[in-house]
Amino acid sequence: MNFLLRLARGIDWLSEKIGRVVVWLVLVAVLISAGNAIIRKAFDTSSNAWLEVQWYLFSAVFLLCAGYTLLRNEHVRIDVLLHRLSKRTQIWVDIFGLAFFLLPTAVLIAWLAWPVFMRAFISGEMSENAGGLIRWPVYILAPTGFALLALQGVSELIKRFAFLQGLIDDPTRKKQQRSAEEELAEEIAKLAEQKQAAVPGAGGRS
């Protein structure tokens, strides 16, 4: 179990790093969307390529952050009866769901999506829209995203068995109270402070 817990910590680290990088794509998508809207209104023109970039970015955030969201215990749950059960029973329900629903589904979708990506990559499939983008970069997001989700599912399964053995704290407790938007805003503020501190004389003279 010690080896498995080290494996789970490694998977958690990977999901955390990927999530913190990919969350910046939300800001990029917002800026591109705003730019498209301004150009369309001001110059009465637009570009299918930039519109498709927005869809690609949304797909990347949704798929690549699935494992990160599972790590943070932020996936939507419709809980009618589970909260009335003991914590151990809740954990066993989670184990059943992870082992028989999440993992098989994620692995199956990743496996089925891989040939779709390979066909598009080999053929150089392009968007049917005029001026659209090449398709394989968005197709690879499906097998990658579901593979990462399955990987995080393995980590969650390990942690739940470890909890039942009394080795770790409750893994279902949410890791943070801030939303992804709040975390992104905090990261932007920190980056701005770092840049300001790096500029000579930015802090003013005393």
What would the pLDDT profile of 76-108 be if each residue is shown by its tens digit? 776 777 778 888 988 899 999 999 999 999 999
Q: How much of the chain exceeds pLDDT 70, in percent?
A: 90
At 51, is the pLDDT very low, low, confident or very high (cuts 50, 70, 90)?
confident
Give the pLDDT score at 206.
45
Return the number of other C-beta atoms located less than 10 Å from residue 11's C-beta.
Answer: 21
Residue 203 covered by a domain: no
Residue 58 covered by a domain: yes
Q: Which residues lie closer than 8 Å to 6 by C-beta, 6 or more apart?
A: none
CA angle 108, 109, 115 (to 5 degrees): 100
Max avg pLDDT among 119-128, 168-177, 185-194: 119-128
Residue 100 covered by a domain: yes
Using DSSP's 3-state secondary structure scheme, residue 126 falls into strand
Residue 139: name the closest of 123, 159, 150, 161 by CA. 123
Residue 182 covered by a domain: no
pLDDT in tens, 99-153: 999 999 999 999 999 999 999 999 989 988 887 889 999 999 999 999 999 999 9
At 203, is the pLDDT very low, low, confident or very high (cuts 50, 70, 90)?
low
Residue 129 one-letter amino acid: N
At 13, is the pLDDT very low, low, confident or very high (cuts 50, 70, 90)?
very high
pLDDT exceeds cutoff 60 at 40: yes
CA angle 123, 126, 128 (to 5 degrees): 130
Give the pLDDT score at 184.
66
Please give the residue that has the higher pLDDT: either 80 or 33: 33
Residue 158 covered by a domain: yes
Q: How much of the chain exceeds pLDDT 90, in percent?
A: 48
Residue 120 covered by a domain: yes
Residue 24 covered by a domain: yes
User: What total number of domains does the chain contain?
Assistant: 1
Give the pLDDT score at 117.
95
Residue 178 covered by a domain: no
List the domain range (segments joined by +) for residue 25: 2-74+83-167
